[in-house]
Amino acid sequence: MKQTSALVFKVASERREFEQIHSLNYRTFVERIPQHPPNVEKKLVDKFHKENTYFICLRDKKLLGMICVRDKRPFSLDEKLENLNDYLPVAKSICEIRLLAVEKYCNTSRIFFNLITRVAHYFMSQGYDLAIISGTVLQLKLYRHIGFVPFGPLVGRNGAKFQPMYITKEAVLKFKNESKYFWGRNYDKWQDTYVHAPYISRMTATKDGVHYLQGWVDWNDEVKELSRTDPDPQEYEGVVYKYNYIFRIYGKGAWVSFEQMDNGTKTLETRILEKVNGKWKIVMVGLVYDANQVIKDGGEGQ
């Protein structure tokens, strides 16, 4: 049976990638969502192309999906919605997310969530505190699952309607900070990412067996002891990588799975979260190690 090549996610940087972006842009926003008139070249170069940062998904160098970010006013939504700022929370730095497109024969959810995860990392690294998007009405459920909030009337024309939406820095899921605080031995901030209740749990499965903790008291005591005996911050940024995210948000609950690589040690991880007083907090952590790999001394996925 033919081996399927891995998906590659990156920032577009090569000429052939940009050529494929223009083609996918045409297939999506001319043929599938009739937002622009057709042309004989079957390419659509975005009018903000030179100012866009494109995050793309490739397989064997073939473009399967894309999304872009731009932070210069006027935004595309400025042209579609009068007095845009009146609809938005107060923010010092805003970016616009645009041109989400995935080839129709692909797993849309998997590619979308991995693209949006890379946008989220970029969002944080650039210091933005608000992002806006024109979400196609065909995918509103998907956007809501990520945490986008709709505002204002629909924009666009018949057959190509879009819902203006925004997402705040606070809406970036809590589990990203939990890992950073754990590795940085920042106990006070780490403990604030959890629900402090007896029903929370943590399970780690390795070739040596399963380690299980039930309740906030036991989990908290273990991390406090770790902070006492090994107080030095551990490297995290640029060393620990999370990828292949899958999200499911349902009301005030969320389920997230992802893979993590830490200096060659791979874990399959899960988080379950609850929204408490408007903030996402963790109630379950699950980690599974490859039974055949060697776990580095002190290695503990987070």
**Which residues touch 248 (CB under 8 Å, ≥6 apart)?**
145, 254, 255, 256
**Which residues touch 293 (CB under 8 Å, ≥6 apart)?**
265, 266
Q: How confident is the model at residue 97 (pLDDT cuts 50, 70, 90)?
A: very high
Q: Would you list the domain boundaries of the chain?
A: 8-171, 174-289
Q: Please report, in angstroms and rounded to a whole number, the separation of the first and last CA atoms in the chain.
A: 36
- For residues 240 and 114, give the distance between their C-alpha atoms in angstroms, rounded to a whole number: 16
- For residues 18 and 54, give the distance between their C-alpha atoms in angstroms, rounded to a whole number: 9
The domain 8-171: what is its CATH number?
A: 3.40.630.30
How do residues 112-129 score in pLDDT, each as one tens digit? 877 887 888 788 788 888
Quick one: pLDDT at residue 294? Answer: 52
Quick one: pLDDT at residue 102? Answer: 93
Measuring CA to CA, which residue among 43, 171, 30, 38 is closest to residue 97? 171
User: φ and ψ at 271, to 5 degrees?
Assistant: -130, 140
Quick one: pLDDT at residue 130? Answer: 92
Checking if the pLDDT of 301 tops 60, the result is no
Quick one: pLDDT at residue 286? Answer: 93
How do residues 127-143 score in pLDDT, each as one tens digit? 888 999 998 887 777 77
Quick one: pLDDT at residue 71? Answer: 97
Q: How confident is the model at residue 5 (pLDDT cuts 50, 70, 90)?
A: confident
1-5, 66-70, 223-227: least confidently modelled range: 1-5
Give just the sign of the alpha carbon dihedral 76, 172, 85, 87. positive
CATH 3.10.450.50 fits 174-289, yes or no: yes
R_g (Cα) of the chain, nearest Å: 21
Q: What are 258's strand-pairing partners?
A: 269
Name the E strands within the chain. Answer: 8-11, 53-59, 62-70, 94-102, 130-136, 149-150, 155-157, 160-168, 201-206, 209-214, 240-250, 253-262, 265-276, 279-289
- For residues 254 and 175, give the distance between their C-alpha atoms in angstroms, rounded to a whole number: 11
